[in-house]
Amino acid sequence: MPQYNRIVLKLSGEAMAGKQGVGIDLDVINKIANQVKKIHDLGVETGIVVGGGNFWRGRDAQTIDRATSDYMGMLGTIMNALALQDALEKLDVNTRCQTAIEMKAVAEPYIRRRAIRHLEKGRVVIFSAGVGNPFFSTDTAAALRAAEIDADVILLAKKGVDGIYDSDPKFNKDAKKYDSLSYQEILNKNLKIMDATATSLCMDNKIPLIVFGIDKEDSMYDVVCGKFLGTVVS
């Protein structure tokens, strides 16, 4: 039985990339789409916020104006959204892609009430272009959309790691995984799981977050069904 009626799933760009960490790996996207279909088949209303770090991260550009660079990053999220939409539609999952930067020929503009209506009608809604403004992240977009559509939980899917650790498990084999944490602890311990804006937004709006690893097959389904995986933040 699913534990949630309405969720926001945050997929980082990295989660959609291949081994090199850049671009789109279609096998990976298809696997993600299969997992999304499974939770959609349970009747869970699903909104997906896609990242774009597999194409461009605004802050990494040294010589481009930061706002311009951030807009480039937001455009990357739209490419990910379209690839995911295509993979889902091929599995007969009804979807709508909305974008925070108007691009009418490509996707619907983000309209909150319309997004909610799509979810109620059983369509998976893919939110792209973050919040539509530079100097923000798609994690913040996930927190914002979750608050706006009144989601029960944010599922933060991570690649290569299965929860929140006290130090980076890729570099420290003694890193300790947290089962649960509060948002305040994330801020106090300066844990780099989400940026501070996204963390504060979740905290202020009391939206629970589950950080889990997407590499394991069916992990998304298991998390939605309440099987304990990853780290719960509340």
Q: How far apart are CA 168 and CA 173, in angstroms?
A: 8
- By the rule CB under 6 A, 74 interacts with ligand UDP: yes
Nearest approach, Cβ of residue 60 and ligand UDP (Å): 8
Q: How far apart are CA 136 and CA 140, in angstroms?
A: 7
- By the rule CB under 6 A, 53 interacts with ligand UDP: yes
CA distances from 193 to 34, 140, 159, 162, 172 (A): 25, 12, 12, 12, 16
Using the rule CB under 6 A, which residue among 47, 73, 163, 230 binds ligand UDP? Answer: 73
Q: Which is nearer to ligand UDP, 22 or 116 (CB)?
A: 22
- By the rule CB under 6 A, 52 interacts with ligand UDP: yes
- By the rule CB under 6 A, 211 interacts with ligand UDP: no
- By the rule CB under 6 A, 51 interacts with ligand UDP: yes
Angle at the Cα of 122 from the Cα atoms of 23 and 38, rounded to 5 degrees: 60
- By the rule CB under 6 A, 163 interacts with ligand UDP: no
- By the rule CB under 6 A, 156 interacts with ligand UDP: no
Nearest approach, Cβ of residue 123 and ligand UDP (Å): 23
Q: Give the DSSP per-residue string, 156-198.
A: EEESS--SEESS-TTT-TT--EESEE-HHHHHHTT-TTS-HHH
Q: Which is nearer to ligand UDP, 148 or 180 (CB)?
A: 148
Site size toward ligand UDP (CB under 6 A) is: 23
Residue 100, exposed/middle/buried by CB under 10 A (0-12, 13-18, 19+)?
A: buried
Tell me whether residue 166 is annotated as binding: no
User: Are residues 162 and 152 in contact, defined by beta-carbon separation less than 8 angstroms?
Assistant: no
Residues that bind ligand UDP (CB under 6 A): 12-14, 51-53, 57-59, 70, 73-74, 76-77, 130-131, 133-134, 136-139, 141
